[in-house]
Structures are given as C-alpha cells and as structure tokens.
Chains A and B, each alone.
Chain A
Amino acid sequence: MAVYERSYKGYEGDLTPNWARFLVLPRTTFRLVFASKMFLVFLIASLLVPLVMASWVYLSHNLQIVEKAFGIQMDSFAQVNAEVFLAFMGIQIMPMGFILVLMVAPQLVSADLANNALPLYLARPFNRTDYILGKMSVLLILLSAVTWIPHGLVFLLQSYFSGWQWFADNIRIGIGIFVFSWVWILTSALVALALSTLFRNKRVIRLSLFAVYIILSGFGGFLYGALKIPFGLNLSLVITQQRVAEGLFGTQAEIPDVSLLSAWVTIIVFCALSVYILFRKIRAYEEVK
C-alpha cells in the first residue's frame, strides 16, 4: 500500500508478541496526559514530598550544616524511623497521589465509551483484560513514579547513611513502602477505572471519586461515631488503607477499632467490586434489554 502506488498491499513483516500489546495503550495515553501543563506542574509538585523527606534524611546525618546555617547547637535531629516514613507516605498519597488520580483517571475509559471506541479495540487481537490492563498501567506507572520509587530511594538513602545494620533492622519499612504503595495504587486504579466506566462526564467521575474516598469516609465516621455501628469505619477507604499501612510499617494503630483483618477485607471487597464493574462495562457492545 505504498503512498505513491495507492493500491492495497498486504503485510508480511513480523508481529509484536501478544503479551506486549497492552503497552501500546499507556504510551498513547501518556502523550495526552502530558499535554496538560497543569498535570505536569502537579506531577513535579508531588515529587517535592519525597524530596523533602530525602533532605530530612540527609540533614539528620549532616547536623553541622543545620548548625552552621542557623548558628545553633543541635545535639540530634529528629530520628528517621517507621513513623516518619509513614507520615511522609501519608502526605504523598493523600492528597498528592489522590489529586493525580483525579486528574488522570476520568479520561481513561469514559472517552472511549462516549466515542464508541471499544469495538475498535476489541475487534483486534486484544481482549478486555488487555484493555483494562493497558488503561490501568497508565495509573500504575504514574503512581509508582510518585510513591514506592522515590520513597524506596529515600529508604535506600537512609540505609546508606545509617549503614547495613540499620537496613537489616528496618527492612520492614522498605517492604512496607513497596507493599503499601502497591495496595494503594491497585485500589485507587481499580476504583477510578470502574467509576470511569460508569459515567461519561469527567466532572461527574471526579465527583464520584471524591464521594467514594471522602464522603463515604465521612458517612462511615458518622455510622461509627453517632450510631455506634462498629463496622462503620470500614466504609472508609482512607481509614482502612491507613490501617493496612500501619500494619505493614509496624506502627501503632491510630484507630484501633478497625482491625487489620477487616481493613484488608474492605480493600479486597472494593477491588473485587471494581473488577466486576470493569468486566461488566468493558464490552464491544452493550446488550440492550
């Protein structure tokens, strides 16, 4: 089908492997996402949190810089421990990571549904799982870049300054950063994508995400506080994720009434429900009853 010939021509070249084809979607989507200057500014801003944490780690091992700069005598800087890592992770995830999800997720699936693009994808050697994986990997890559990768590097920086013994003693922090980041990334990505399939309008999707994370937390708090319903707090993804993080980092639970097991169950239920919605809604054509 050469341009100059303008005739129909076959293709005899090699094909890419089946498993790698879902990666075409994030590449195309990233072009659209990074076209927004606002998104770019916010992405850079969200990397400031691990940068501040890294500075904290550096200064705690180089006290003379602080003493020289401020002309004061400092016997010790705040200790870098699991609580400090968890606090910084908390800020990174809520609000920074959550705002990134709000910015990116609404356009992932809803635009394809609104423009009837799913038959085009699914008429190719590309099934629903590939499509969901491709769209999800946009969030997985993006959120990894602002969570476990920078915070993991900060953990390694702290280990570098404190030595092998500190690394061995606090390996749970490193594992906690990695596992908790992935728990949060997967939950957020699945919930956001599921909501993106339910509504066509970006603003409505953002509002629904806000409702699931914030309003549902408030409602759960009301059930727990006012009506004394013990599992009320389990409606809150924010609280259950925090409880899971505390369990992984081995820190004291701020709200002990939410058991670690019930927190995990809540997250699994949210993820399962999202997967169900995704597979129900991602179809080439909807069956009209």
Chain B
Amino acid sequence: MARIVIDPVTRIEGHLRIEAQVEGGAVADAWSSGTMFRGIELILQGRDPREAWIWTQRICGVCTTVHALTSVRAVEDALGIEVPDNARLIRNIIGSTQTIQDHVIHFYHLHALDWVDVTLALKADPGKTSQLAESISAWPKSSRVYFKMIQDRVKALVASKQLSLFSSGYWGHPAYKLPPEANLLAVAHYIEALEFQREFIRIHAVLGGKNPHLQTYLVGGMSTAMDPNEPHAPINPERIEFVREAAKAAQAFVEQVYIPDVLAVAGFYREWFHYGEGLGNFLAYGEYPMHGVKDDKSFFLPRGVILNRDLSTVHPMDPKNVSEYVTHSWYDYTGGNGAAKNPAEGETRPNYTGPKPPYEQLNVAEKYSWLKAPRYQDQAMEVGPLSRMLVAYAAGHAQVRELVNGVLAKLNAPATALFSTLGRIAARAIETQLLARELPKWIDELDHNLMHGNLRVHNGERWDPATWPKNAQGWGFHEAPRGALGHWVEIEDRKIKNYQCVVPSTWNAGPRDAKGQRGAYEAALLKTPVADPERPVELLRTIHSFDPCLACAVHVTDARGHRHAEVLAR
C-alpha cells in the first residue's frame, strides 16, 4: 500500500495536487486538491457590473475569453438585455476559435507526451515515418527529408543536454507503446501545432483586439463596430477575409493532422477505453446560440444532463439545481458547512484549516481543497468535451452522431467505450472537427450582415445605470473548452452585491461533498493501474484527459513520505 502524491500536476493550468492510494498495482482511492485560492469574487463586490467581465476574464489566461463571455451574459440576463445578431455571431466565432485552439494545444502540448516517448523518436527511420504519415493523411509535410530534419533537431536538443520543454517526461516507461516512427511523427506535429495555434489565434486579435484577454466585450453586445466602406472600422471586408482564411487553415490542420494523429495514437492504446471512466453523469449547459441565448432549443450544441451512463434520456438542465458544498473545502458557509448552497445565494468566505506547507499529506477526512464541490441535484457531474458530445449524441444531433460513429467504427469500439480516458480524447478531437466545420458558416453569416447593411453590434438601451432596477439577479453560461461554466451575479444599487463563478475544473477537480461522494477526477482515477509508483504516468494520462485548467515540478513521494523523484518541468 502506497500513497502517491503528485503536486503540482504539470502541463496544466493552475495548481493541482493529486493524492492516490495504490493497492495491488492499482488505485484504490484518490483525492484531488486545488492548492491555490482564487478570490476574484471578492474583488468584484462593489464594482460596476458592466466591467465585471474585465475582472473575471483575468481568472485565467489559458482558456482566455471564456469568463468574459459568461460574465456579460450573466449581467445581460440580470438586466434583461438582448444582444444584436452580429454580437451573437462574433461571440460564437470567438468562442469556437478558443475551443479549437485550446483543444489542439491540449492534445499536442499538454497531453501527447503522456503517450509519446520523445526519446524514441531518435530511433525512427525517417523514410518509414514518411510512409506512415502518407498512409494516414494527405497533409503535405510528410517527406523523408522533412522528418529527417525534425529528427536532427531533436538529436541536437538531446545532445545539448538541455531538453527544455521535453525535460520532465517519464521517458523509457514501459507504458509507452508507440513504435519509433509514430513517435517521430507526433514530435513533428507537436512543433507544427505550436506554429498553427499562434497563427490561428490572430482571429482573436481581429475580433477581440488581442489574445489573451480579449477586450471587445460590452454588456449589450460587442465594441467591434462594423462598416463595409470604412478602412479603419474594426470589422470590414478585409478583416472578414483575414478571419475566413485563418478558419480555412484551421479546418485543414484539424482534419489532416489532429484527427489522423488521434486515431493513430488511440489504435496503440486501446486498453485505455477501459480505464478512467469516472462518474457516468454528464452535464452540458449547451453553447453557440443560433438565435438568442434564451432560446436554448436553438443551441448548436444542446443543453442537458445524462445520468448513470444512460444515453437514451437527456434530462433538462435548470441552473436552480446547481449547488456547491464546502464540507471538504477551505471555506465557511453561514448556517453550517453541511448543506449546499445555490450559487445565487453563494458565499466566498475563505478559512484555511489545512497543514502548514511544506507538508507530506493532506488531512482528507477534513477540508482539503480550495475548490468547492459543485453538484447537480446533489449528484457529482463530469463536464467537458465528452459531456457535450454525449449530450449531443443522445439528443440525436445529426453531425455529432455521424462524426462519433465514424470514429468508433475506425477504432472498432462500441459507444460505451466513450466512457473512458481515451473516450475523452476522442470526444475532444471530434468536437474540434465539428467546430472547425461550423466556424466558416458563422463568418459567412457575419459577412452577409456586413454587406447588407445590418451593422448593429451593441444594444445601448440599458447602458446607462440610471435605467437599471434597484435589485437584479442573473445567470450567465458558456461551454468553455474544459466544460460547463456558469456565473451568478446579484446587482444592488448599480453595484455588484454578490458574484459567484462555478467553473469547469471545479466540477471535475472538486473534492468530496457532505455525503462523501467523489468528484470526477477522484472517481476516474479508481482502478487505474500503476506499474511504477515512482513514475505514475498512468495517473497523469487520466487526469490530463480532463484537460485541467502551469508547469513547475513533479514531486513524487512514497508511503513514508520520502521524496523519490523530483523532476523540474521548466
């Protein structure tokens, strides 16, 4: 029996600690702890609700923009503001662009090295790698000379003894199963994906002024004025063409690089269709309104809840059923920590009772995380691309069904295989492909409006705080790359009285609740095999498959608390 501690988990955003009890070569129990306090909610109190999005957006710069969008929607909901059609389209374009970029970065830069052994790429035959590449995709960068060049670059890196971003891997671990050629191919695409994501995100610079932290949201719409005849207008035909070209390039990259790579890697790791399932409960707020945000039936990706792996029923989603526990979180609720609170009445009163760092182990019987434990109808939920794709699949979304069935057929796996670590990776890739196909349509619609004189981007009827009611409450939602994101706002006397954010990684990485129910990470780690407790790459595979929302060091300690290995990642 050994307690494995990974703190911090690297190749993620934020500060995450995983403690796992290993018995008989597999995980018997696990605890997930967020070791950083956020506190943006407290900073917001007393501020102008029109600028809440500027603050919330700074919660994180990796999946940037998502908190901004959710926040303006919450304030618009509270004040009863409808945004013009152009604002809806621009927000859809910004949101889907973020998701596509984030998913590509996640697969290649945050997750691939759990499956790809970079050092093995040195043993590959560039000629055979070229044959492999051409057998799975029509992507033009596939010559023997090209892969030889990539291999020489990796050789030079290894010879320099400064592995840089490849320095923290568990290289040589028996769980790595790809042949050398596939490793070289993946390393080449790792480098190409860096370039791709940099070019692609320029869409955000056009529509948002910059990335990260886009700056064109307004309560009531967007600030990107449109004019077909004005060279200095933020959106004009030249800018539309720029965005369209970038979207086209993304579609090519996703369909010719990302998807074939996922299929190729998955083929070597089929046993991961059986590990990492987790809760079996899935929640999606839905996203990409085709009309207004109130008309949730029109959403491109549907809203709904799936319980107990039952894909025959999609339960309706009501934000009133969302609540948060602090029983095992370093917070206090007025009225006791045993009961959950809906975020509309939520509180953020930090009370750290954990051990003084440096410590060996958290007291998991008491409070052990800075994350609250969100529940839907008192049940723990998984959120993310898998939840979205499952809800869409179960709701009969034609495009999703076609893509999911296509991938399952190629991997020769049943639909139930989706409830797994590999299922999460596949769902993320499928979603990327889906959005890469949909993105050009929203750009065309925006172009159509621009050329036909529909230039309204902002509804200013309620811009002046004098027009607001004394009290107002609202809820805003968004499907961020990592899952269902909700903001709850209460406005009193034109100021923010209370603000609560329930974010995707709180759903997934949250601790246990009052009833002792595990969060999604904690449940997914159960039964995961661990071949070598000093190098728990298997745990990282499942945790990373959720795409936890910085990278410093991996500390591994054994049951007696002795540090076995410390690997600096950057």
User: Is this pair of chains taken from one and the same complex?
Assistant: no
B interface vs A, CB < 8 Å?
A: none
A interface vs B, CB < 8 Å?
A: none
